[in-house]
Amino acid sequence: MNSSIPVITIDGPTASGKGTVAHLVAQHFGFHVLDSGCLYRLTALSALRRAAPLNDEHAIAKLGEHLQCHFSGTHVFLGNEDVTAAIRAEEVGNTASRIAALPMVRHALYGLQQSFRKAPGLVADGRDMGTVIFPHARLKVFLTASVEARAQRRYKQLIDKGFSASMQDLSKDLAERDARDMNRASAPLKPATDAHLLDTSGMSAEEAVAQVIGWYLAL
């Protein structure tokens, strides 16, 4: 039974540092990683490419259910195409946030997310990892950071990847995406009641990682 395989969940809003912290914690323990946002982004990219109406819950859920994706190191493939950069575009992130509010889409991606739980362990990052997908995780962490700190991080990420960006637009998009992720009826972004809260606004990634590793080792 894979229910004995340890899971660490790291939830939080966009650009709170979840992805970086999850990868470094996984590396430390030799665990697998689930970037659940990536699955919503892949579904969004499929929908955008097919010009599927974003309010057609059935059609979008079907795309999620039949996602032909695979992962190779840090690269993500949709079919045979390397979409690692394409899924990070702001339009894809915003579309992912919209379709993630549809319960059938969340349901369609449930099994795929569970399948990442493999020995020797998993670090899962997202919005509902500790509340819905892995409610019995061994350690649950909820990362927060101010909108300003997160907009700064997102700005740097986009510029480093060669995209253009404006701080003002990013702050506005982040605030809108936060509101949508937190206020949706289905699996809204919120800390699990047994989650450890960590505000990373003034913290380096290394400090956040050390704190998460410390919590896990103290269990």
Q: How far is the CB of 218 from ligand DC (least distance, A)?
A: 26
Residues ≥6 apart with Cβ < 8 Å to 54:
47, 60, 95, 98, 99
Stretch that binds ligand DC, among 54-62, 124-132, 151-159, 211-219 (CB under 6 A): 124-132
Report the 3 state secondary structure along the chain: CHHHCCEEEEECCCCCCHHHHHHHHHHHHCCEEEEHHHHHHHHHHHHHHCCCCCCCHHHHHHHHHCCCEEEECCEEEECCEECCCHHHCHHHHHHHHHHCCCHHHHHHCHHHHHCCCCCCCEEEEECCHHHHHCCCCCEEEEEECCHHHHHHHHHHHHHHCCCCCCHHHHHHHHHHHHHHHHHCCCCCCCCCCCCEEEECCCCCHHHHHHHHHHHHHCC
Nearest one of 25, 7, 9, 10 to 205, comparing CA atoms: 25
Stretch that binds ligand DC, among 73-81, 126-134, 137-145, 190-198 (CB under 6 A): 126-134
Q: How far is the CB of 209 from ligand DC (least distance, A)?
A: 18
Which is closer to ligand DC, CB of 64 or CB of 203?
64
Beta bridge partners of 8: 123, 139
In the shown chain, the binding pattern of residues 191 to 210 toward ligand DC, with x for contact by CB under 6 A and - for none, equals --------------------
Q: How far is the CB of 105 from ligand DC (least distance, A)?
A: 9
Which is closer to ligand DC, CB of 19 or CB of 212?
19
Binding ligand DC by CB under 6 A: which of 17, 64, 126, 130? Answer: 126
In the shown chain, the binding pattern of residues 160 to 179 toward ligand DC, with x for contact by CB under 6 A and - for none, equals -----------------x--
In the shown chain, the binding pattern of residues 26 to 65 toward ligand DC, with x for contact by CB under 6 A and - for none, equals ----------xx--xx------------------------
Which is closer to ligand DC, CB of 40 or CB of 142?
40
Binding ligand DC by CB under 6 A: which of 31, 181, 200, 208? Answer: 181
Q: How far is the CB of 96 from ligand DC (least distance, A)?
A: 4
Q: How far is the CB of 39 from ligand DC (least distance, A)?
A: 7
